[in-house]
Amino acid sequence: MPDLTGGDAAAVNSLRSAVMRLSRRLKHHPLVAEGGRGGRVDESLSPTEMSVLGTLARCGSATPGELARKEHVQPPSMTRIVALLEAKGLVRLEPHAEDRRQKVVSQTERAEAMLDESRRKRNAWLAELAGQLDEEEWAALRAAAPVLEKLAHL
């Protein structure tokens, strides 16, 4: 575990700051956020709604309760988010195979296509940005990517 009283404190602070700044840039950079050339294909979706669709794409169908746990939101909030996504034709609700009182949320083909386009645009922007790194920096970033992915899903 990192020692927050020693030299690790500066590294943890730097990592937090850099990840937050990069995340904001991915969400708000003109190449990503504007319509047409932007990363969000459907500007009517909130970042939370996009996150839920991403979780469904990554993890597969889930109950609203499972989604709430994965997204770190309260179940009533997830119920509202799922209802909004369903109204937009991005998810469908089906009866749970074992517990008919529950519903299972699945993404639609429209949501899958929207996420693919959004990923393509964000990846292109990030690749352009990474193109400004030297080979050693790019190698370090490639090596760090799996670790950052793990942190994001702990």
**CATH code of 52's domain:** 1.10.10.10
Q: How far apart are CA 47 and CA 151, in angstroms?
A: 19
Task: Give a yes or no: residue 1 inside a domain.
Answer: no
Give residues with Cβ within 8 angstroms of 70, minimum separation 6.
55, 59, 62
Average pLDDT over residues 12-32: 80
The predicted pLDDT at position 46 comes to 84
Domain annotation covers residue 2: no
| pLDDT the model gives residue 57 | 93
Domains in the chain, number: 1
Rounded distance between C-alpha atoms, residue 58 and residue 92, angstroms:
16
Q: Which domain covers residue 147, as residue numbers? A: 8-152
Report the pLDDT averaged over residues 119-148: 91
pLDDT value of position 154: 80
The whole-chain average pLDDT of the chain stands at: 86
